[in-house]
Copies of this chain bind each other. A is one copy, B any other.
Amino acid sequence: MKKIDLNCDMGESVGAWTMGMDGNVIPYVTSANIACGYHAGDAHVMYKTVKLAKEHGVGAGAHPGYPDLVGFGRRNMDCTPEEIRDYVAYQVGALKAFCAIHGVPLQHVKPHGSLYNMSVGNEAMIRAIVEAIAGVDRSVIYLALGGAQASLVTRITMEAGIKVAFEAFPDRAYTPEGKLAPRSLPGAVIKDPKVAAERALRMAKEGKIITTDGSVLAMQIDTICVHGDNPSAVDLVRQIRAAIEAEAIQVVPMGTFIK
């Protein structure tokens, strides 16, 4: 039986500030990318978010970002590979502590925001991230963007002896080469929930994406990235999950099938 994971950013509240609707979206997803205190989140939010993930049987992952809270980790910072390795290791270790406290494994690591975007196809950055993950815990999955960079990431993770999962974005346009279309291009972000849901279903069912020139591209898709920022986003996740399950595809945490 075919399996797919749905991953969602969580734990982005900080102190007295709330962000996201974690409690509403978590019944529909299978993996949580949990902020680690650099770009969002704090120690107490991490404690509670890992607990929430455990209660829903959702895989807990670290979501490390640049040390830029005011910029929400979305501004590029010129960091060296050593700085990136250490920033990732620090945040992954911190989240792993809360996983240990709640008795769940740390399932995956997914870089956040600009750290994610800058690393796509960038060998030095990928190596830095992989070095951190492999150093901290070789059983943890590196969650990376699928498509054009997949072969590069696969090679580096195999060398390091760690697992990798590839994700796709149903609400983002892809170039025929399998890259995300830059957000500055018109149509780069797909706003129609019906279209996004259809794309998500095709991703889960066939591992295929319709690109900007109408061509169909096959790629490894282990997990689909969804959002829980607002009620309509949560509703879309609910629809996506229902549509996928209606096709008799299992929606389960990536840790259950990525080997």
- Interface residues in chain A, defined as those with a beta carbon under 8 Å from any beta carbon in chain B: 13-19, 37, 40, 42-44, 46-47, 67-72, 75-79, 82-83, 85-87, 89-98, 100-101, 114, 132, 135-137
Bound Cα distance from A246 to B87, whole angstroms: 44
CA distance A90 to B43 in the complex (A): 6
Residues of B within 8 A of A86 (CB): 43-44, 46-47, 98
Q: A99: shortest Cβ distance to chain B, in Å?
A: 9
* Contact flag A135-B94 (CB < 8 Å), given A15-B69, A44-B82: no
- Which residues from B are CB-within-8-Å of A85? 47
Closest to A91 in B: B94
Given contacts A16-B40, A71-B77, A100-B136, list 20 more A-B pairs with CB under 8 A.
Answer: A14-B17, A15-B70, A15-B72, A16-B19, A43-B87, A46-B86, A47-B85, A47-B89, A67-B68, A69-B69, A76-B76, A76-B78, A89-B101, A91-B94, A93-B98, A94-B94, A96-B96, A97-B135, A97-B136, A101-B132
With beta carbons under 8 angstroms apart, the residue of B43, B70, B90, B132 that contacts A14 is: B70
Question: Which residues on the B side are within 8 Å of A79 (C-beta)?
Answer: 71, 75
Tell me, in angstroms, the Cα distance from A15 to B43 when the chains sit together: 19
Evaluate contact between B100 and A97: CB separation under 8 angstroms: no
Contact of A90 among B71, B89, B94 (CB under 8 A): B94
Taking the nearest CB of chain B, how far is it from the CB of A157, in angstroms?
17
Complex: how many Å from CA A93 to CA B47?
12
Residues of chain B contacted by A46 (CB below 8 angstroms): 86, 90
Check if A71 sits within 8 Å of B15, measured CB to CB.
yes
**Separation in Å of the A217 CB from the closest CB of chain B?**
30
